Structure 1
């Protein structure tokens, strides 16, 4: 249900050059380069503490590097899908409410959704297999279902660049399969996707790989 991107395939959407980040006095990233391209999935892999989530935070604009350049193509819409946390289970919101938040960038917070936006929300929930749970409180869902709701929220944003932090960590097999298929749909319709993962085999198709070790790029392919 994701609308096709207006970007040409393989257009460079984001470029990170010589990125260095210190966290609490310790180097988290050391001179890392990375690029994201329209219609391609970049998998960022490595052990815990290798700098994967730090790199994603830089890409999302949540963290300013101490050195290096972040070049985001003008007009690019970005969506960040964090890991589902216990906090989400305590929000007094339904699945529809969570997914509708993806329209806020266009409509503003808590404004009534237009008909087209409501259809977009319904389509996103159908894509991630949550249509029958649309009225359920988010706190009553499993971890995998909550993660799918967050991904549906990103679909509604119609982002050109989608950033995923361990999207399948600890999830059931059905949720992993649905998320992998949705990522395939995102790249097929032209979105650039960067996904942090411990296991690139989680995805059905990976175009580019960046492996980090102790904050440095160990391998690119």
Structure 2
């Protein structure tokens, strides 16, 4: 059982208060407040330049805001799933290898995988519909297949906070359906999931929604569960 499954839905995993970020003198975020809770999917939407990706980078600890505070629940494991990017076809890394890397945080890269971990990797690959491609090199996959492999890695990682950067960008309808199901599974196992997108309609389930424009929050919505 993952540690995230032990958290109550009311558990606040991530808190941002008054966060402001400037990029080369241009305000990317202007006094943003964000709460992400265990077992809930928070979708952050808005047009290009609204600050979505910057918010995700702040949550991941990759960008330090000029002002404001960030609080992450102690002991939280964080998984960041970036947008899928092209990889060289000759890269000697298979789908199975990539997904198995999700166990490293628990085992270390040098320890042999246990039976339960091998089963977890196989289950995650099956969940994202890549069982027949588990030995295929990552560089030979389509963009949608690579994105699904990255999500499988997040499932194996058993993170408490999962950050998704445009997880369905440029995917075909089949891949979008599988990714939406995987995102649902991440939240249902107890993780706090934050996904940025141009189109909230891509997701089957949204528990909380934050709308950004020009670095400001222009709308908040929550669904009681």
- Normalised by the length of structure 1, the TM-score is 0.95
Cα deviation per residue 1:116-173 (whole Å; 9 max; x = unaligned)?
2111110110111111100001111111000000000001100111110000000011
What is the match of residue 72 of structure 1? Answer: 72
Q: Structure 1 residue 25 and structure 2 residue 22: aligned?
A: no
**Mapping for residues 153-168 of structure 1, pairs under 5 Å:** 153-168=153-168
Aligned residues: 221
What is the match of residue 202 of structure 2? Answer: 202
**How far is 1:111 from its partner?**
4.0
**How far is 1:10 from its partner?**
2.5
Q: Structure 1 residue 97 and structure 2 residue 97: aligned?
A: yes
- Structure 1 residue runs without a partner (length 5+): none
**How far is 1:81 from its partner?**
0.5
CA distance in 1, matches of 2:187, 2:117: 22
CA distance in 2, matches of 1:217, 1:45: 10
- Structure 2 residue runs without a partner (length 5+): none
Q: Structure 1 residue 61 and structure 2 residue 95: aligned?
A: no
Could you say if the C-alpha distance between residues 90 and 40 of structure 1 is closer, same or farther in structure 2, counting changes exceeding 3 Å? Answer: farther
Contact 2:44 2:212 in 1 (8 A): yes
Contact 1:15 1:72 in 2 (8 A): yes
CA distance in 1, matches of 2:84, 2:59: 19
SS at match of 2:163: strand
Contact 1:3 1:189 in 2 (8 A): no
**How far is 1:22 from its partner?**
1.1
Cα deviation per residue 1:4-52 (whole Å; 9 max; x = unaligned)?
6110113111101000011122111110011101111110010101100
- Normalised by the length of structure 2, the TM-score is 0.93
